[in-house]
A = this chain, B = another copy of it.
Amino acid sequence: MPGSGSPEFRTSNSLLQRFRGELRVIPVEGLPEVREGDDVAALIAAAVAVEPGDVIVVAHKVVSKAEGRVVPLDDVEPSPQARELAAGEDPRRLEVILRESARLVRTRPPLVIAETRHGFVCASAGVDASNAAEPNTVVLLPEDPDASAARLRGRLLELTGAGVAVIVSDSFGRAWRQGTTDVAIGCAGLQPLLDLNGEHDAAGYELHATVIAVADELAGAAELVRGKLNRVPAAVIRGFGLGGEGTARELVMPPERDLFR
């Protein structure tokens, strides 16, 4: 067991120093309905005074809309498989879900749990109808949510001078548990996983296999103030203190480690 003078212990102490203290989760209110081509970073910067070190969590739907990832269902011709999975619901929506799926994980029509091209396992391959600006459209996940987060981060730095982290979030269901929690599907300026392996707890024991998905916990915390209604698609988390570099792809369990494929 190392004493407090060992390098390992100093590392964990300095890690915690940055990591502790009060956290504030602030809803970004007053954003307008977002349309294709809108500058989401400018809308956020106009609505809230961001500070260096802030984590800005943005619901993927505004990002997707700004990036034009909206599909009018009138343009969609459903396949036989989509009709089969629809179970009385709109087969065109199921067709879009199938197109967004790399692999179907479970189906109970009209419910589809799919793996997206990004590797995320979620309901409807992330295809969603709620909050669409107009009926008969569905909203897809961003093509590359990590790139979306990096662009937002760069643009926020340009506009405000503040170096922030950005998380693009979505609401995912979970195996074995009821309800959704928001998780990170895109990430920039932040290590999404806080690895405490080799750190030592207060009793001096090594913590094995303690890797905390902080990006997902930040996304969930933001959801608590965002709500689903009344257009609060973003939140600022102040005081988290851990930055770094990383992407939400790191949150995807590699197939060889995945016991639940």
Cross-chain contact A22 with B225 (CB below 8 angstroms): yes
Contact status of A221 and B176, CB under 8 A, knowing A106-B260, A205-B129, A259-B113: no
User: Which residue among A20, A29, A229 has the maximum number of chain B CB atoms within 10 Å of its CB?
Assistant: A229
Give the distance to chain B from A81, nearest Cβ to Cβ, in Å. Answer: 19
Cross-chain contact A180 with B229 (CB below 8 angstroms): no
Cross-chain contact B181 with A216 (CB below 8 angstroms): yes
Give the distance to chain B from A83, nearest Cβ to Cβ, in Å. Answer: 20
Give the distance to chain B from A115, nearest Cβ to Cβ, in Å. Answer: 8
Contact status of A130 and B205, CB under 8 A, knowing A212-B171, A225-B21, A227-B20: yes
A186 at the B interface (CB under 8 A)? no
A174 at the B interface (CB under 8 A)? yes
Give the distance to chain B from A187, nearest Cβ to Cβ, in Å. Answer: 12
Which B residues are in CB contact (< 8 Å) with A207? 130, 228-229
Copy total for this chain: 2
Interface residues on A, range: 35 or more
Which B residues are in CB contact (< 8 Å) with A16? 227, 229-230
Which B residues are in CB contact (< 8 Å) with A181? 181, 212-213, 216-217, 220
Contact flags A157-171 to B (C-beta < 8 A → 1, else 0): 000000000000001
Contact flags A176-189 to B (C-beta < 8 A → 1, else 0): 11111111000000
Distance in angstroms between the alpha carbons of A43 and B180 in the assembled complex:
33
Give the distance to chain B from A248, nearest Cβ to Cβ, in Å. Answer: 10
Give the residues from 214 to 261 in chain A that come closer than 8 angstroms, CB to CB, to chain B.
214, 216-218, 220-221, 223-225, 227-232, 240, 250-253, 258-261
Cross-chain contact A200 with B229 (CB below 8 angstroms): yes
Distance in angstroms between the alpha carbons of A9 and B115 in the assembled complex:
35
